[in-house]
Chain A
Amino acid sequence: MTTHPDPVRETPEVAPAQPRAAADVPPAAPATGPAPAGWAEDVDTVPRAGGTPGELQPYAELGLRDDEYDRIRHILGRRPTQAELAMYSIMWSEHCSYKSSKVHLRQFGEKAPPSDRLLAGIGENAGVVRVSDELAVTFKVESHNHPSFVEPYQGAATGVGGIVRDILAMGARPVAVMDPLRFGAADHPDTARVLPGVVAGVGGYGNCLGLPNIGGEVVFDPCYQGNPLVNALCLGVLPVNRLQNKAAAGPGNVVVLMGAKTGRDGIGGVSVLASATFDEGSEERRPSVQVGDPFMEKLLIEACLELYDAELVVGIQDLGGAGLTCALTETAAAAGTGMRVWLERVPLREPSMEPHEILASESQERMLLVVEPEKLDAVLKTAEKWGVWATAIGEVTPPAPDGQPGRLVITWRDHLVVDVPPGSLVDDGPVYARPMREPADLILLQADRAETLPRPAAPEALRETVLRMIASPNLADKTWVTEQYDRYVLGNTVLAQPEDSGVIRIDERTGLGVALSVDGNGRYARLDPYHGTKLALAEAYRNVVVTGAKPIAVTNCLNFGSPEDPGVMWQFAEAVRGLADGCAELGIPVTGGNVSFYNQTGAAAIHPTPVVGVLGVLDDVANRVPMGFVPRPNGDHDQLFLLGETHVELSGSEWAWVTHEHLGGVPPQVDLAHERALGELLAEAARVGHLSSAHDLSDGGLAQSLVESCLRRGVGARIAVPERFAGGSMPFVYLFSESAGRVLVSVPRGHEKAFTALCAERGVPFELIGVTDPTGGALEVHGQFRIGLDELRAAHTATLPRLFSGAEVAEVPAPATGVAGAVEAVPLPVSEPAAEVAPVDPASVESEPIASAGPIPRAGAAEPVAPGADTAADAPGAPEATAGPVEAADEPAEPAAEATRSDSGADEQPAEPDQR
């Protein structure tokens, strides 16, 4: 019944009582062939285990503690077989059991605000939220950190593949991916190895799958040097009545394995397995990073969707970390049923694989289906149409007569190798409340505030600071990365990087769409994991609301060091508490996520790095608000407003890091009630057309947002620093503070009054700070500096090509042509490498430390700059620096300081499965 065109061999053996259709199933591995001497007969069976209770087993090498091993023996009433031991060791690993995080993750459910949109939540493969009467979306972010360090291309590629199957398993068509990526120092030699491989892997897999990559992050920090973070998010769409579940319901139903053959790749992620089990370390048994085949996954997607639409499956589960072991036990446990599996029927790449290897293999592109016997033929036919293997490997068995859940019984060539209660692997794993302790250095770290660092005060120094900051690796344009991803495929991408959010249309008839953003800031979380996590949530939320969307759900990927380090565990607990509290305050639930522990090199953990994804809904994507200033004919312009309040908040900032390599103090204040009001304001303003553009302020502050909004479509701006920020280094503070809750918007003529009235009504502070300048070709800060867009672009776009492909810098750039709605993607000629931007000599910079950096008193909550400022800014005498027509001169080269991506996957280290 294997449908793949490969030759199928007959086998006499095959199993007892099972459905007719399944009875023909020829095993892929020839049971009749001569068994290699020495292993077929030595298989560790249940009867053998019962008769040899004293046999020593390598449980410690497999990562199980003494008490855990004892517990397994207690559950089984005997010692486990080799295959069972492998299964328990995987399922009870941190990665699968969440044993260290479970006690904390409960808060996501306990504190979750009520939501009538949630169709599936934490514990499922991915959360599902309803977005209209007919449609629902599902999304989730996962990590694939360690494999991506070992083998960047395949690690990243299979990270994408894994999260896509999670989404597929919910009944959804995957429609977009995003990749938050974090690397070591940008100029470190190993980053030049890891980053290009990871980016190529994300692109290679996602592009070949036909999924647009619509956003993400690319962040550099030395703390990720030995442990890059490769997270991947996938978004899927489904009709609400197509929701699938993983329960293996219905005794007598057939268990079908569909997709790629099973090989020795990525065995359990537990390299110890092989080395502990076999004496001679034969090469072919060495586990390795999984190898992805996106073409197979594409076929698998189409085949699954066809099966769903024809209502041919009862239950479905993807095979990811822990492979068949996880899929079999989770599907059975979810239904309370048992399962009978003939393991020799699993199609193998390597016929010599042993039972525990087949059960632990993490070969990619596989799904487990539960099918009614009478529909089996139709399922196999669909698989054949798409050219994927589909093999009946077992059947669902009833619960025990006394009502106890059924047992998972697995034979291999008539040897009984597994007989366990499936729930014991899935639900009865160990749970630990690990010791926690605030890191001893935290108090000193927080006392070392960046607000006391020397700051630039003279206009020339400020100008240089702007150019240096926008060229710094974290703030520089990420086109070199994002150009390697297809953002157009499927034809529904309304916004993609470098925009604040990716926006995908999900219903062509109505224009219904969703906006998605993922954000994290390890420095903030290092300084204060509770507030740092809230800040990540606030940023993702803000990135969604600036498009005009209404946030409805949250996902997360929690990247941390070792849970056995009390300091790390404290950071983790604080982060979870911050996220749960933050979601409660914002009124949106966490629908799923992933934990990745053991991200450290030796004793040095990474910065705690919670990455938070927020999803919002747009009733009509035609109303979405982009980030770039809009070209206007005939000297017309828009007015620029800064929403929210700016305080002296420089600790943890990009400026402190780039300029002083400083990390200390406390991160910016976060006010989620304000963020919520801001979101409601922007949604309303977008709906009635008050906004030409809206752009979040985050890393790099106002200066960064101004530059990005200017370069996006080649439209300059003139702004004035408000009176209360005049003098000394205060203009610098205004431009580079990273206070949260701020958005830069441009408002078309005629809408100012209505817009400001709306701000006042919603209680959102606003300030008129200037105008766009479509003909000026420059960014000018009145009385401080004026920088031509060409100079800004050269500084902003040269950094990544210089670091990662010297040759491309010389490439001929395309001229920019203003095309309405165009997403500029063509780099400009980079005549002046960013390197030429002279660093500011600290000695020459007027330093003006402010001892007390408390919040600036708010000057009458909503106090627009006097209209005079606008007029003054309009005064002639500005344009000159840039020659040539603006339109032709500056077509942005797909800027995007912070929006970049990455992908993810399953950490080979423990920790990573669904939060439940």
Chain B
Amino acid sequence: MTARVGVVTFPGSLDDGDAARAVRIAGAEPVRLWHGDPALHGVDAVVLPGGFSYGDYLRCGAIARFAPVMETIVDAARGGLPVLGICNGFQILCEAHLLPGALTRNQHLHFRNRDQFLRIESAGTAWTNAFQPGQEVLIPVKNGEGCYVADPATLDQLEGEGRVVARYIGGNPNGSQRDIAAITNSAGNVVGIMPHPEHAVEELTGPSLDGLGFFTSVLKHLVGAPA
């Protein structure tokens, strides 16, 4: 049976089509979810894609977090549903308090799009089990507000519990504290990542195929491999 992975479209979502394509290339069936519809339509996992939901007015992710579909997703995530938030999706997960900390304006104050090397710090999550710990991957980063911040205690806790999922290497593109590019919740089913794995799934259009691992990971996870 093919896994069904939901991709949410908020008003202002931009990378929803790309996330759905990545899900398909990974071998799963993408299911488009609408922000105004609380039903999850039986999906096995959910991707919150990149973009500027609700224009990112007020604060990135701050409005999306109140969308009807998010109420269902927050509950399901607490129950173990794998959820990947990419870029704006990461911001929404923080606003929804599924993940700690916040994403603020890049330190240099510019939007920045570049091909970025990351080190996978934790291969124990639902979305990274296809990688080796310490593996270096190349994934595009593109954001204006991707600077991850949290209080020192939270950062220490994340580090201590192995919940820093990926770190920027070879240069920090946005000033994130401790070079954090991705984190997970304590159960390992919810992951927020600032770079865009869905843009590294095809030779023709991406800098590498490294992004595919995030999507194949969740399939592996769903068929029973340890998360």
Interface residue ranges, A against B (CB under 8 Å)? 200, 203-204, 207-210, 293-296, 298-299, 386-387, 482-494, 505, 508, 621-622, 805, 807-808, 811-815, 817, 819-826, 894
Contacts and interface: CB of A to CB of B under 8 A. Distances in A.
Contacts of A208: 12, 14, 52, 55-56
Given A210-B14, A814-B170, A483 B114 contact: yes
Contacts of A491: 15, 17-18, 21, 198-199, 202, 205
Interface of B: 11-12, 14-15, 17-18, 21, 50-52, 54-57, 108, 110-117, 138, 140, 142, 144, 169-172, 196, 198-199, 202-208
Contact of A811 (B54, B57, B171): B171
Given A484-B110, A492-B205, A494-B205, A812 B172 contact: yes
B100 to A, nearest CB: 26
A200 B14 contact: no
A489 B15 contact: yes
A379 to B, nearest CB: 18
Contacts of B144: 207
A484 B205 contact: no
B171 A203 contact: no
Contacts of A807: 108
B108 A298 contact: no
Contact of B207 (A203, A484, A813, A821): A821
A624 to B, nearest CB: 8
Given A494-B205, A505-B204, A621-B204, A488 B113 contact: yes
B55 A293 contact: yes
Nearest to A893: B114
Nearest to B172: A812
A208 B143 CA distance: 10
B138 A483 contact: no
Given A294-B55, A491-B21, A505-B205, A817 B140 contact: no
A483 B205 contact: no
Given A295-B11, A488-B142, A805-B108, A821 B114 contact: no
20 contacts: A208-B52, A294-B52, A295-B55, A295-B57, A484-B110, A486-B111, A486-B142, A488-B140, A488-B205, A489-B14, A805-B110, A808-B108, A814-B171, A817-B170, A819-B115, A819-B138, A821-B208, A822-B208, A825-B207, A894-B114
A815 B170 contact: yes
A205 to B, nearest CB: 11
Contacts of A825: 113-116, 140, 207
Nearest to A482: B113
Nearest to B53: A295
A766 to B, nearest CB: 29
B24 to A, nearest CB: 10
- Interface-centre pick from A485, A487, A622, A821 (highest chain B CB count, 10 A): A821
Contacts of B198: 491
Contacts of B115: 819, 822-826
Contacts, number: 135
Contacts of A490: 17-18
Contact of A484 (B56, B112, B140): B112
Contacts of A824: 115
Contact of A826 (B12, B110, B114, B202): B114
Contacts of A386: 11
A299 B52 CA distance: 11
Nearest to B112: A483
Given A488-B113, A491-B17, A508-B21, 20 more contacts: A203-B111, A208-B14, A208-B52, A295-B52, A295-B54, A296-B55, A483-B111, A483-B112, A483-B113, A486-B113, A491-B21, A491-B205, A492-B205, A621-B204, A808-B108, A821-B207, A822-B207, A825-B113, A825-B115, A826-B170
Nearest to B14: A210
A493 B204 CA distance: 8
- Interface-centre pick from A210, A298, A622, A820 (highest chain B CB count, 10 A): A210
Given A621-B204, A821-B203, A200 B110 contact: yes
B138 A207 contact: no
A488 B141 CA distance: 9
A484 B117 CA distance: 18
A817 B138 contact: yes
A387 B11 contact: yes
B80 to A, nearest CB: 30
Nearest to B36: A385
Contact of B171 (A207, A210, A813): A813
Contacts of B51: 210
Nearest to B16: A210
A822 B171 contact: no
Contacts of B113: 482-488, 825
A811 B207 CA distance: 22
A488 B196 contact: yes
Contacts of B170: 812-815, 817, 826
Given A483-B112, A826-B171, A814 B117 contact: yes
A490 to B, nearest CB: 7
A538 B214 CA distance: 45
Nearest to A203: B111
Contacts of A203: 111
Nearest to A894: B114
A218 B112 CA distance: 18
A805 B204 CA distance: 33
Contacts of B56: 208, 295
Contacts of B172: 812
A817 B144 CA distance: 25
A506 to B, nearest CB: 13
A494 B204 contact: yes
Nearest to B168: A814
A494 to B, nearest CB: 5
Contacts of A484: 110-113
A819 B203 CA distance: 11
Contacts of A298: 11-12, 14, 52
Nearest to A504: B205
B58 to A, nearest CB: 12
Contacts of A622: 204
Contacts of A293: 55
B181 to A, nearest CB: 13
B199 A488 contact: yes
A508 B24 CA distance: 13
A660 B57 CA distance: 49
Contacts of A494: 204-205
Contacts of B140: 488, 825
A811 B170 CA distance: 11
Contacts of A821: 203-204, 206-208
Contacts of A822: 115, 138, 207-208
Nearest to B114: A825
Given A484-B112, A491-B21, A817 B117 contact: yes
Contacts of B196: 488
A208 B11 CA distance: 11
A303 to B, nearest CB: 10
B185 to A, nearest CB: 27
A367 B208 CA distance: 40
Contacts of B110: 200, 483-484, 805
